[in-house]
Structure 1
Amino acid sequence: MDGDEPLEPKVIDSMIEETITEHDVAGATVAYVEGDEIVHAEGYGYADYETGESVDPDETSFMIGSVSKLLVWTAVMQGVEDGTLDLDEPVGTYLDAYEFEGDDEVTLAHLATHSGGYDDRFEGIFVQEHSEIDEWEEKLESEMPPQIWEPGETISYSNHGTVLAGLVVQEAYGKPLESHIEDEIFNPLGMDSATFVQPAPEDRTLSKGHVPVDDGFETRDPTIVGIPPAGSVSATGPDMGAFALAKLQDGAVEHDGENVQILEPASVVEMFDQQATNHPGVQGLGYGYMLSEYRGEQLVMHTGGTEYFHTLFVLFPEHDVGLFVSFNSMAPFDDVLDGFIDERFVPAESSIESDPATADRADEYAGEYRMTTFQTTHEKFLGLAQGTVTASVTDDGVLELTSSAGEKTRWVEVEPGVFEPKTDDDASFGQTSVAIEDGYLYMNAPAPPFERLSWYETAGFQVSLAGAVIVTLLSTIVIWPINAYRHRGWGAMRGYLNRPRLAILGCVALLVAFIGGVALNPPFDMASWVYGFSLWQRLTFVLLYVLAIGAVVTVVSVGIEWQRVFVARDLDAGSTSRYGLVYLTTLVMALLVLLWQAWYWNLFTAAF
């Protein structure tokens, strides 16, 4: 290809089929648009592996996840155009029946750039039953995360922020959001299969979700989005192709022989232009859209993921080109997008030489960084397993970033504190620049800032500390019976168990019960964090509260022992020897450290 002509459909087909094969994907749907037409729309593989039903490009809808947010933001911009909404007006102006923290300061412009200041949370985004979304507005009001930043201060991806904007649209127009978007966007553009409704209407064919197994795939019903404006849209490839054309053609398309204008050109420009960023050295956001300058091309895009579907919607405005891809199994987009860019635009490969002077500033950049979201709930605990990045600088001045999963990328400093990928292999379409300043690491929006951790906050130290504390407390199960037998014999065991030791053993029993509860009702699969903990999981974490009460009793009991020592001025004046008193004190300290860790990771919030 010379980069000036549309791709042949067979080229798109080859890229998708290769991804399906390499990543165990059941099915996919694609729309490729260029100029003023859908060049290619195709379906691949299975819509339902169990029945053998194939993906029909014109009939089979896929859940598009967070790409749904673009429909909400398009509706917001329509409201701005007709004077119903104002981007700079506090959202509380439109919400007489609801109250949200900061609604007298947070504007639609803040929400459109994910800078409303709200913390993030997983729990409640997906639900088990369709009945749970009947009153999603009240659900949003009760589950809205608290504000942890001032509005406009920090970009941090917020599902709930977009849902709040959807509620504003609904209240301002006095009709259900799904009906409003159907009337103002879906119907005018001929997006006949697209819907926010869950479950999808009976006249729509919705793909099943799929999980790969040894002999094929298990089929699953599509995930139910508990706060629908965050990601409940299902649509076909041609539906999303029509939406892409409208955005690429200044808000207008030809439909049924008529020119349909869903947005004014100026509104499209506003949505595509950068409106906010966490740092001038990294990519920011337009209104609703993620921005990226990747391999020499300007991308305006959004991704979407539910439990079984994975979606990419990317526009190349400089070329009037767009690509929509959705898989009904989890799979990466990098190979598809890289292949598309290679074939359609023929970008030049790039590599940057490092500056050895960067090594002199290694202390400013090196360290372990953790994302600054999930500060207020037990989901902070996920930062131990994901959400951290370790930065180091090589002797020749290359910044190396290692993710929690062990993936390493290399970056070269192009100006103080601003880095670009050393080679194309070190970048992805969502991560094309990095900045480090004043103890924070910034990536392309809408990723939140990552904060450099103190030594005691690092994952390695926290895990090691927890292990040492638990071993110390459990040592009582071995040490005290042996000690009692050596000094008094089994018959005198009751006399050996004084109040401090009984208090400690009570706490140890609670700790063992907690560990057992976690083992029997594992809370560490993502489903537990998204759908919410079961009753037994929550009861397990209630034990932490009982353990805290036990710790108070233990501290008092051991404190009385020390009081006796101080009064008598004799280390042997307590009910145990001086060595026993030191051991008791060590156990108390271990218990308090363990409770501090539970508090630090917000594990007490997991019970309720």
Structure 2
Amino acid sequence: MRTKPMRALATITVTATALFTVTATTLFAGAAPALAGTAPALAGAAAPVDLESLVDTAVAGHLRNDRIPGAAVTVVHGGKTVLAKGYGVADVRTRTPVDAERTGFFLGSLAKLFTAQAASRLVTEGRIDPRADVNDHLREVVVPDTHPGRPVTLDHLLTHTAGFDSDLVGRNETAPEDVGPLAESLTSRRPPRVRAPGETAAYDNYAYALAGQLVADASGQDFPAYVDTHILRPLGMTRSTFAQPQPERIAAHLARGYRPDGSSGWAEARGQYGAWSAAGPGAVSTAGDMGRWLVDQLTADSAANRLMRRVHHRQDPRLPGIGYGYEEWRRGGRTGWFKDGDIPGFHSSLLLLPEQELGIFVVFNGDGTDGRAGWDGRQLIDHVVDALAPTAADATPDTAPGAAADTAPGTAPGPAPAAYAGSYRSARVSRTSLMAVEGLVGAVSVEEDGADGLRTTGLSLDPDRHEQRWTALGGGLFRERGGSGATLAFTSDGLLVSSATPTTAYEKLSWRQSPALHLALLGSGLAVSALGALGFPAAAAARRLRGRPPHPRAARAARAAAAVTGLLAVAFTGALAAVVADGNAMMESVPLGSPLLSVVTGLGTALVVASPVVVAGAVAAWQRGWWTRTGRALFTLTALASVSTAGMLLAYHLVAEPFARLAG
């Protein structure tokens, strides 16, 4: 799962789009052949579907319109692969075409499915108790007893309810040779436990990395070796691996990941490696191998597979829940299991529909314009499902079985929609790291919309739909208008839960926690401080030109400190803007811990340090009668601005790590 870009990229010009169309047409010519061109319609379909043509057209549109170099798609049905095909290129420099059987793609968080499968095998073999304290099984890592009597269990790890904070800053590497041991990273880079386990779903990469260590300790094999021995090799997935570096036969055919650069080019993305391979970094597979895995998931009635595809946590009983690795998926009366994965330059999506014996895997080796690749994968899956397994005429929305009957209009009215209005923040937003800044710009706004409806902004996964409207069903349940079938639920403990993202709940914020208020405080503080960088030197120069005697040395030092603070504010604003200007580049810079991020936190620290100096100057100005009353008032305003800025920088951890720890 990735976060939404903080700022959209510039709109592509018509000329650039035309040039790219010519290039993309050339690239498509190298697409690898499909294993099977036509799949029969599934139960309920009106006529046979030309699957290859359908997918060809859809993928070509995504690559062309969203500037993605290549893709691979696998569809399995009835116990066999009916389509496995590559599109575009794996390397824009060599123009090597994507090959479904040979081209390796980084899976990102789809790796969590293999982690869940490995852990589930050990559970069914009786080697791990999923409800026991993980410390009972871990050998090299210890989870602190932050919540006495509430230990973290494997069940919590695999359902994103362990309660660890989110911190991915600097967790990844550019080269596989630089990846350190998993146990060492889990200890040295462990985020704090910020909530009791089992209560709130908050997507958790550390939890899955810890589950990988649990697999290693319980099995006696390191995690990549266990997955290779017990999952990959038995299924014939010879082009897949969790090892870093990869075996040469796999490394030689790896796709490169890209993000759009300029009007028509691409920049290669870095940062696909890392110690937390059980959560995503470093895991590699091909479209062909993923087809073998999908077939096994749909046909092998093993205890481990059944354990994965069972709801183990449901934040609201009326909405889709969380399995082991999977998210429950409901759409148009169909039920299944979904997972997506994102890592710099690569975006993948996977869906299982067991009742229809249908499995779909999609992967792109590009972020896409405005980071659209992840959404493109979801759209392609929906397109294939709609064609092969049409929606039933009497389909229900994507609530849990029986939920619709319990929440029909008028049966359980509950509070009026206005009671749910306010700001909500994703539970996965960090409380203790630089990633807390996501909460400053990524909040969800809920507003009343008529007598029986709500309007939300910031909740949609569709980059073209910033706003959504919802109709009340009763009991705090709402259905999206427009026929999508999506649902929202508001729980008794103040959480907002969306059927689109069951692995992360949203927490209601008080007015003091309002991101809009905090943005105003930060923005106005920086602006006023920046004005001081010009105003105070200009005032001093004007005084000299008029031939007036200089102010006392302490007064001049106070104004100089305010001017320097203003320059720091200008530099900080510019550095932060450079980080967030390109959401795709930011997705790389955060896990790599780029130098520019260090510049941002360094400038933030300097602003915090300068703030008390400016405040002291304001106090002294009134005590000693420096300047005119108007001059003292303006300097006091500057001091208040510096305090406002410093408070927000500390609150969102936009400072160096020692200061961030003090703020936490």
Distance of 2:221 and 2:209 partners within structure 1: 15
Distance of 2:642 and 2:349 partners within structure 1: 48
Aligned to 1:109: 155
Distance of 1:77 and 1:208 partners within structure 2: 32
Aligned to 1:421: 480
Tell me the alpha carbon deviations over residues 118-156 of structure 1, each in whole angstroms, 9 at most, x when there is no partner.
Answer: 111221342223233132331222112111110111111
Q: How far apart are 1:236 and its partner, in Å?
A: 1.7
Structure 2 CA distance for partners of 1:92 and 1:351, relative to 1, 3 Å: closer
Q: How far apart are 1:501 and its partner, in Å?
A: 5.7
Aligned to 1:209: 257
Question: Which among 505, 509, 512 is matched to residue 453 of structure 1?
Answer: 509
1:474-553 to 2 correspondences below 5 Å: 474-477=530-533, 480=536, 490-492=546-548, 494=550, 496-497=551-552, 499=554, 502-516=557-571, 519=574, 522-524=578-580, 525-534=586-595, 537-538=597-598, 541-553=601-613
Q: Which amino acid in the other structure matches residue 600 of structure 1?
A: A
Structure 2 CA distance for partners of 1:81 and 1:67, relative to 1, 3 Å: same
Q: How far apart are 1:169 and its partner, in Å?
A: 0.9
Tell me the alpha carbon deviations over residues 579-601 of structure 1, each in whole angstroms, 9 at most, x when there is no partner.
Answer: 44444433332222221111221
1:29 lines up with 2:72 in the alignment: yes
Asked if the contact 1:282–1:435 (Cα under 8 Å) also holds between the matched residues in 2, the reply is no
Asked if the contact 2:555–2:626 (Cα under 8 Å) also holds between the matched residues in 1, the reply is no
Q: Indicate the larger mover: 575-584 or 338-347.
A: 575-584
Tell me the alpha carbon deviations over residues 477-509 of structure 1, each in whole angstroms, 9 at most, x when there is no partner.
Answer: 555566667778654453x25535633531430
Distance of 2:271 and 2:575 partners within structure 1: 28
Q: Indicate the larger mover: 451-460 or 71-80.
A: 451-460
Secondary structure at 2:416 match in 1: helix
Asked if the contact 1:31–1:323 (Cα under 8 Å) also holds between the matched residues in 2, the reply is yes
Aligned to 1:255: none
Question: Which among 295, 317, 335 is matched to residue 245 of structure 1?
Answer: 295
Question: Which among 37, 60, 63 is matched to residue 103 of structure 2?
Answer: 60
Asked if the contact 1:50–1:218 (Cα under 8 Å) also holds between the matched residues in 2, the reply is no
Q: How far apart are 1:14 and its partner, in Å?
A: 3.8
Asked if the contact 1:472–1:587 (Cα under 8 Å) also holds between the matched residues in 2, the reply is yes
1:604 lines up with 2:647 in the alignment: no
Structure 2 CA distance for partners of 1:544 and 1:410, relative to 1, 3 Å: closer
Distance of 1:585 and 1:144 partners within structure 2: 42
Distance of 1:51 and 1:425 partners within structure 2: 42
1:399 lines up with 2:454 in the alignment: yes
Q: Which amino acid in the other structure matches residue 467 of structure 2?
A: K
Distance of 1:358 and 1:83 partners within structure 2: 46
Q: Which amino acid in the other structure matches residue 350 of structure 2?
A: F
Q: How far apart are 1:436 and its partner, in Å?
A: 5.6
Aligned to 1:309: 346
Question: Which among 292, 312, 316 is matched to residue 275 of structure 1?
Answer: 312
Structure 2 CA distance for partners of 1:486 and 1:234, relative to 1, 3 Å: closer
Q: Which amino acid in the other structure matches residue 167 of structure 1?
A: Q
Q: State the TM-score, normalized to the length of structure 2.
A: 0.79
Aligned to 1:369: 424
Structure 2 CA distance for partners of 1:77 and 1:520, relative to 1, 3 Å: closer
Distance of 1:408 and 1:98 partners within structure 2: 44
Structure 2 CA distance for partners of 1:89 and 1:347, relative to 1, 3 Å: same
Q: Indicate the larger mover: 220-229 or 48-57.
A: 220-229
Tell me the alpha carbon deviations over residues 445-480 of structure 1, each in whole angstroms, 9 at most, x when there is no partner.
Answer: 544332333445434433333333334334445555
Structure 2 CA distance for partners of 1:45 and 1:483, relative to 1, 3 Å: closer
Q: How far apart are 1:415 and its partner, in Å?
A: 2.2
Asked if the contact 1:358–1:397 (Cα under 8 Å) also holds between the matched residues in 2, the reply is no
Q: Which amino acid in the other structure matches residue 254 of structure 2?
A: L
Distance of 1:172 and 1:194 partners within structure 2: 23
Aligned to 2:181: 135
Distance of 1:483 and 1:50 partners within structure 2: 56
1:329 lines up with 2:340 in the alignment: no
Distance of 1:245 and 1:485 partners within structure 2: 77
Structure 2 CA distance for partners of 1:471 and 1:480, relative to 1, 3 Å: same
Secondary structure at 1:196 match in 2: coil
1:71 lines up with 2:114 in the alignment: yes
Distance of 1:467 and 1:217 partners within structure 2: 33
Aligned to 1:257: none
Aligned to 2:521: 465
Question: Which among 113, 132, 137 is matched to residue 94 of structure 1?
Answer: 137
Distance of 1:49 and 1:497 partners within structure 2: 64
**Unmatched segments (≥5 aa) in structure 2:** 1-40, 368-372, 398-403, 581-585
Distance of 1:105 and 1:40 partners within structure 2: 45
Distance of 2:535 and 2:264 partners within structure 1: 52
Q: Indicate the larger mover: 81-90 or 402-411.
A: 402-411
Distance of 2:359 and 2:541 partners within structure 1: 78
Q: Which amino acid in the other structure matches residue 93 of structure 1?
A: D
1:279-358 to 2 correspondences below 5 Å: 279-330=316-367, 331=373, 332-348=376-392
Q: State the TM-score, normalized to the length of structure 1.
A: 0.86
Q: Which amino acid in the other structure matches residue 99 of structure 2?
A: D
Q: RMSD in angstroms over aligned alpha carbons?
A: 3.2
1:122-201 to 2 correspondences below 5 Å: 122-201=168-247
**Unmatched segments (≥5 aa) in structure 1:** 252-262, 565-572
Q: How far apart are 1:64 and its partner, in Å?
A: 1.5
Q: Which amino acid in the other structure matches residue 415 of structure 1?
A: G
Secondary structure at 2:249 match in 1: coil
Q: Which amino acid in the other structure matches residue 288 of structure 2?
A: P
Asked if the contact 2:141–2:186 (Cα under 8 Å) also holds between the matched residues in 1, the reply is no
Distance of 1:43 and 1:355 partners within structure 2: 47
Structure 2 CA distance for partners of 1:446 and 1:128, relative to 1, 3 Å: farther
Q: How far apart are 1:532 and its partner, in Å?
A: 0.7
Q: How far apart are 1:239 and its partner, in Å?
A: 1.3
Distance of 1:400 and 1:582 partners within structure 2: 42
Secondary structure at 1:197 match in 2: coil
Q: How far apart are 1:304 and its partner, in Å?
A: 0.8
Structure 2 CA distance for partners of 1:120 and 1:481, relative to 1, 3 Å: closer
Asked if the contact 2:424–2:508 (Cα under 8 Å) also holds between the matched residues in 1, the reply is yes
Q: Indicate the larger mover: 20-29 or 116-125.
A: 20-29
Q: Which amino acid in the other structure matches residue 273 of structure 2?
A: I
Tell me the alpha carbon deviations over residues 219-255 of structure 1, each in whole angstroms, 9 at most, x when there is no partner.
Answer: 557822442111122112221122112222244xxxx
Distance of 2:323 and 2:104 partners within structure 1: 27
1:3 lines up with 2:43 in the alignment: yes
Q: Which amino acid in the other structure matches residue 175 of structure 2?
A: E
Distance of 1:124 and 1:164 partners within structure 2: 18
Distance of 1:311 and 1:61 partners within structure 2: 12
Larger radius of gyration: 1
Distance of 1:478 and 1:323 partners within structure 2: 59
Asked if the contact 2:322–2:503 (Cα under 8 Å) also holds between the matched residues in 1, the reply is no
Q: How far apart are 1:341 and its partner, in Å?
A: 1.9
Secondary structure at 1:157 match in 2: coil
Distance of 2:423 and 2:385 partners within structure 1: 34
Secondary structure at 2:325 match in 1: coil
Asked if the contact 1:517–1:537 (Cα under 8 Å) also holds between the matched residues in 2, the reply is no
Asked if the contact 2:600–2:654 (Cα under 8 Å) also holds between the matched residues in 1, the reply is no
Asked if the contact 2:417–2:453 (Cα under 8 Å) also holds between the matched residues in 1, the reply is no
Aligned to 2:583: none
